[in-house]
Amino acid sequence: QKTSFHRPQTLDFKNGYAFSRLPREGVGGDTLFANQLSQDELDDLCTKGATLTYGQVKRSAPSRFTPAFVAYDKKVLKFDAYFMEEVPISAEEHYRIRQVGLYYYLEDDSMCIIEPKVKNSGLLQGKLMRRHRVPKNEHGDYYHWKDLNLGINLTIYGRTYRLVNCDSFTKVFLESQGIVVNPPEELITDPYTEKHRTPAPKRIVPAGPDPFRQFLAYDTKVLRFYAIWDDTNCDFGDHHPCIIHYFLADDTVEVREVHKRNDGRDPFPVLMRRQRLPKIFVDKNKNFPSCVLEITDHEVQEWYSPKDFAIGKTVTLLGRTFLIYDCDKFTQDFYREKYGITDFQPLDVNKKPLEKVPQIIPPYNGFGIPEDSLQNCLSLFPKPPRKDIIKMLENNLKVLRYQVALESPVPEDKNRRFILSYFLSDDTIGIYEPPVRNSGILGGKYLKRTKVTKPGSTPENPIYYEPSDFTIGSTIEVFGHRFIITDADEYVLNYLERNAESFPAATVQSIRDHFLPRKVVVETTSSGIPRKDLDDLIVEVQKELKLQEPFNTRQFHEAFHHFDKEGSGFLDKTRFLNICDRFNVPTSTILLKKVRWKGCCACG
């Protein structure tokens, strides 16, 4: 009653490649049961042919063919061999034994022979026969791996090779093919080579010291000591690091000075040339001129030897004293073997760092600003103090101007007026005195532009004047001179109001109170009387004054300033009439009606 007989899918694609897989279900979608056979039983079923009780037996499929160049790829049989070569032109040898390696390549049955190269042998060694199939006889046969075994002679191109040994792969391969491998033989060496390898008999060494033997035994062997030359007894002396070389070949000594970069000394590495150095001299006549003659063995009782040098010792070489503090590893091994010394602890010769003496800044001498004078104490070539470039760019051409009066007991200085300029770009102050004719004072620049410190500040921590210190009526002390601020520029008020958050409220309010009366005058003039009527009034008053007797205008103005003690620029009616009567100025009723009783003193 089964109606579905479709076969399951066994072909599929994975990552773009086609492959076959086992079916997941049977024919018609039937369930496949898990395999209950072991792996050995499955292998037997794959290899065992079906047994039929009747009919003709079907032959099994032939095994898959594998070519020889694939099966034996990179498989080589290696034999150790030698051959005997005649030497007809030498009296010392009649033949020589040359050891070679014979290689048989299974993939194509080819052979090659290679002789290891020996340095300075004088023979052409290396590949003696290139790789190819080697003919066996004249009938066209070639050597096969079945013809190779140990302990046989192999004749190739007229030269007989004796195979004596092989590697493990070769032995296993031959035995797997049913060939009985002969036991290996010893590789014969060349008699001429063995003869020259025999050490030469040692000659009898004489009992006394032999300089030539010492040279041969200790040539290129040098003891190296690290020392310090103390030269502090001389003028400008110092501790010089040096290296002492003791040459064991001829017992000579050389001293080299170790130079460092920028040490201020001439770059001469050799302090003492290589020579034998005397240790103890023979007593001789004091008048003997030995300073101009070479030292001979008759004048020296003892020369310096390796036993005179050790770590911690002080040696005097040609009048110079050296303290040995270390040596190299070869020197340590030499003293350990010959003298039995085991202590090679180096000495600490490093200078202790000097205590840093605190720098004492001298008191300020009053010339220039403290920062500029301080640079002379910090370096030999003073540099200008660093400036705040951002502040200079932001406050360029911004100047606060104040009118100041000199506070002095001298009567001539009471009426002197100065212009104090505060430069916001670098916090400097300059004072200028406007020239006044017939005053007896030249005027001009009173103080060059510079920073001014407040009273009580120290040169180590100077405190300079700031815009917040300048208020109307405040006293400014400049290098022993006291100035009282009496007036300010209108730009000062505008600047302080724009930057009110950066200044104290008392400073801003002081400037505002000072400028308040001027604002009232400006408002009165601009709102009450037209400009043309005010000019006509001034002309009319001037005509009336010209009709009177001449009077001193300067004294007239000084009287107004004297009664204006607050400096507001205003006078009341009573004081104004008293001043006019004092100087015989007519006070016409018509003019008085036109002139306001609280007029400006400049208009009066």
Q: Rounded to two decimals, what is the model's pTM?
A: 0.37
Residue 576 has pLDDT above 90, yes or no: no
Is the predicted pLDDT of residue 113 greater than 80, yes or no?
Answer: yes
Distance CA 45, CA 309 (A): 91
Place of tokens 């026969």: 129
Residue 595 has pLDDT above 60, yes or no: no
- The residues near 99 (Cβ < 8 Å, ≥ 6 apart) are 80, 81, 82, 115, 116, 187
Q: Inform me whether the pLDDT recorded for 105 exceeds 70.
A: yes
Contacts of 571 (CB under 8 A, 6+ apart): 560, 563, 564, 579, 598, 599, 601, 604
**Residue-averaged pLDDT of the chain:** 83
Per-residue model confidence as pLDDT tens digits over 279-301:
988 877 667 666 656 777 788 88
The answer to whether 181 and 149 have CB atoms below 8 angstroms apart is yes
Q: How many CB atoms lie within 10 A of CB 220?
A: 7
| Torsions phi, psi for 472 (to 5 deg) | -65, 125
Q: Look up residue 17 and give its two tokens.
A: 């490649």
CATH 2.30.29.170 placement within the chain: 68-196, 211-285+293-339, 397-524
User: Of 471, 491, 484, 595, nearest to 537 (Cα)?
Assistant: 595
Q: Which residue has the tokens 């020589």?
A: 96
Top-ranked range on mean pLDDT: pick from 187-196, 213-222, 371-380, 513-522: 213-222
pLDDT of residue 39: 72
Q: What average pLDDT does the segment 470-483 reach?
A: 91
Six token digits for residue 50: 């079906």
Contacts of 201 (CB under 8 A, 6+ apart): none
pLDDT, position 445: 92
- Region of residue 409 (phi > 0: left; psi between -120 and 50: alpha; otherwise: beta): alpha
Over residues 485-535, the pLDDT tens digits come to 999 999 999 999 999 898 999 998 888 888 886 665 555 555 555 666 656
Position 532 scores a pLDDT of 64
What pLDDT score does 323 carry?
93
Confidence tier at 182 by pLDDT (50, 70, 90): very high
Give mean pLDDT, residues 359-369.
77
Per the DSSP assignment, residues forming a β-bridge with 323 are 228, 314
Q: Is the pLDDT of residue 600 over 50?
A: no
Instruction: Determine the average pLDDT of the residues in 533-555.
Output: 66
Q: How far is CA 176 from CA 71, 147, 172, 179, 180, in A?
A: 15, 15, 6, 7, 9
Q: What would the pLDDT profile of 226-267 be if each residue is shown by its tens digit?
A: 999 988 888 888 889 999 999 999 999 999 999 988 888 888
pLDDT band at 333 (very low <50, low <70, confident <90, very high): very high
Report the alpha-carbon distance of residue 591 to residue 594 in Å, rounded.
5
CATH architecture of 68-196: Roll (2.30)
Architecture of domain 397-524: Roll (2.30)
- Reported residue count of the chain is 604
Please give the Cα distance from 602 to 604 (Å, whole number). 5
- Domain 211-285+293-339 classified CATH 2.70.70.10? no
Among the listed ranges 46-55, 91-100, 119-128, 318-327, which one has the minimum average pLDDT value?
46-55
Task: Report the alpha-carbon distance of residue 272 to residue 253 in Å, rounded.
Answer: 8
Residue 162 has pLDDT above 50, yes or no: yes
Cβ atoms of 107 and 69 closer than 8 Å: yes
More confident residue, 103 or 563: 103
Report the distance separating Cα 452 and Cα 368, nearest Å: 10
> Residue 321 in 3-state DSSP?
strand
Q: How far apart are CA 254 and CA 322, in angstroms?
A: 13
Residue 115: beta bridge partners? 126
Closest CA to 443 of 418, 410, 412: 418
Cα gap 246→244, rounded to integer Å:
7
Torsional sign, CA 31, 36, 40, 46: negative
CB 296 within 8 A of CB 303: no
Q: What pLDDT, in 10s, does the model give residues 40-93?
A: 777 777 776 666 556 566 667 777 778 888 888 889 999 999 999 999 888 888
